[in-house]
Amino acid sequence: MMDGIKKHLIPLSLLLLGLVVAAVLPATGLVNDYLQFVLISVAINAILCVSLNLVNGWMGEFSVGHAGFMALGAYASAILTVKLFPTAPAELLFPAAVLIGGCTAGLAGIPVGILSFKTRGDYLAIITLAFLMIVKSGLENIPYTGGPRGLLGIPRLTTLAWAYFWCVVAFWVIRNLVYSKYGRGIAAIREDEIAAEAMGVNTRTAKLVAFVTSSFFAGVAGALFAHQLQFINPSSFDILKSTEILVMVYLGGVASLGGSLLGAGAVTILTQCLQPLGTWRMVVLPAILVVLMLYRPSGIMGYRDWAWLKPFFPLTPRSNEKKETETGEGLQ
């Protein structure tokens, strides 16, 4: 038991240290606004990447609707902070707005999940595309949120600390999921749906859990995104945004937590570093992608993960006892 607590203490204190650093760093003046912007973008993109990876990597489907879930989270949270409670204290309002953004997107994940019961592969990809189009044209036609012009004057509430916090939450929750009974069920659907059902996996529950969790975190990322840029319009969430997340997933590695982090970091930082190249940066990233698909089709970290990202379960007393008696016999 003590052993288990100790094992948990080290990662926990490291994560807390990270949070303190993220909270203090902007105040020290060591990082300028630009660098802060890039770091926050990395965190937001990592949330998007790991959540899309749940559906596209672990479950092996192909969703192109992630930007749609992101849009719902962004708009729901911005309505709260701009329209409904513009005067509420930000410390209370912002966490609630992000959470509600996530829940709105998570609710929208339910019908898409239900549609995935009977359709898969290319057909499901088309359904997610349709979902994205519905969300985008829906938002364009709602005057309350500014129609195609979008929502302006969103307060800048996404700090480095908040982005870091939500990023850790997303990775922690999705890690728990993929290393649980439901996560194994999701992977079994990818491998062989009929065999999964025959082995007692309720594929409907597994698909719903995957879609709702995935869209919830897309919504969270959308809320953070809205309060980072201070301006959102429907065309910020078009198919190109989805594609950008897809690139991160397939570059970093499918069905991998480490890969999601790597993919989001690499793509975000590369696009920034390649700015001086002008139009040529549009050539470099796709070229990298082509080379990667040729030599490593499942991405840099596909289907693998670093050990420190996996959960640790101390052994139960039963097996400890067994070990002890075994070694005891060995000594005699």
Partner 1 sequence: MTALLETRRLTRQFGGLRAIGDLSLLVNRGEILGVIGPNGAGKTTLFNLLTGIYPPSSGEILFEGLPIAGLRPSEIARRGVARTFQNIRLFRQLTVLENVRIAYDSRLSCSPLGALLLTPHAGFSERESVEASMELLDLFELGSLAENRAGDLSYGAQRRLEIVRALALDPKLLLLDEPAAGMNPSEAMQLTDFLRWVHGKFSLTIVLIEHHMQMVMALSDRIEVLDFGVRIAGGKPDEVKGNPRVIEAYLGTEGELP
Contacts with 297 (C-beta within 8 Å, 6 or more apart), sequence order? none
The nearest distance, CB 318 to partner 1, in angstroms, is 7
| Residue 132, both tokens | 């994205």
| Residue 316 engages partner 1 in binding (rule: CB under 8 A) | yes
The nearest distance, CB 185 to partner 1, in angstroms, is 7
Which one of residues 31, 155, 190, 231 is an interface residue with partner 1 (CB under 8 A)? 190
Quick one: which segment of 74-82, 108-116, 182-190, 237-245 binds partner 1 (CB under 8 A)?
A: 182-190
Distance, in Å, from the CA atom of 284 to the CA atom of 148, rounded to the nearest integer, reads 32
Quick one: which segment of 77-85, 157-165, 193-201, 260-268 binds partner 1 (CB under 8 A)?
A: 193-201
Position 102, amino acid: G
Of 244 and 305, nearer to partner 1 (C-beta) is 305
Distance of CA 264 to the CA centre of its chain: 10
Residue 165, classified by CB atoms within 10 Å of its CB into exposed (0-12), middle (13-18) or buried (19+), is buried
Of 156 and 322, nearer to partner 1 (C-beta) is 322
Which one of residues 27, 91, 279, 318 is an interface residue with partner 1 (CB under 8 A)? 318
Of 75 and 182, nearer to partner 1 (C-beta) is 182
| Residue 250 engages partner 1 in binding (rule: CB under 8 A) | no
Which one of residues 79, 127, 167, 177 is an interface residue with partner 1 (CB under 8 A)? 177
Of 73, 67, 55, 57, the C-alpha closest to 216 is 73
Which one of residues 68, 113, 146, 183 is an interface residue with partner 1 (CB under 8 A)? 183
Which one of residues 97, 105, 209, 262 is an interface residue with partner 1 (CB under 8 A)? 209
The nearest distance, CB 142 to partner 1, in angstroms, is 32
Distance, in Å, from the CA atom of 49 to the CA atom of 248, rounded to the nearest integer, reads 6
The DSSP code sequence of 288-324 is HHHHHHHH-TT-TTTT---GGGS---PPPHHHHHHHH
Of 49 and 201, nearer to partner 1 (C-beta) is 201
| Residue 12 engages partner 1 in binding (rule: CB under 8 A) | no
Q: Mask: binding to partner 1, 281-310, rule CB under 8 A, as x and -?
A: ----------------------x-------
Of 112 and 188, nearer to partner 1 (C-beta) is 188
Crossing angle for the helix pair 239-252 and 257-273, nearest 10 degrees? 120
Which one of residues 201, 247, 262, 301 is an interface residue with partner 1 (CB under 8 A)? 201
| Residue 2 engages partner 1 in binding (rule: CB under 8 A) | no
Contacts with 188 (C-beta within 8 Å, 6 or more apart), sequence order? 195, 196, 199, 201, 206
The DSSP code sequence of 119-186 is --THHHHHHHHHHHHHHHHHHHT-GGGTGGG-B--------HHHHHHHHHHHHHHHHHHHTSHHHHHH
| Residue 188 engages partner 1 in binding (rule: CB under 8 A) | yes
| Residue 203 engages partner 1 in binding (rule: CB under 8 A) | yes
The residues that bridge with 232 in the sheet, in sequence order, are 151
Site for partner 1, rule CB under 8 A: 173, 176-177, 179-185, 187-188, 190-192, 194-205, 209, 213, 303, 311, 313-316, 318-319
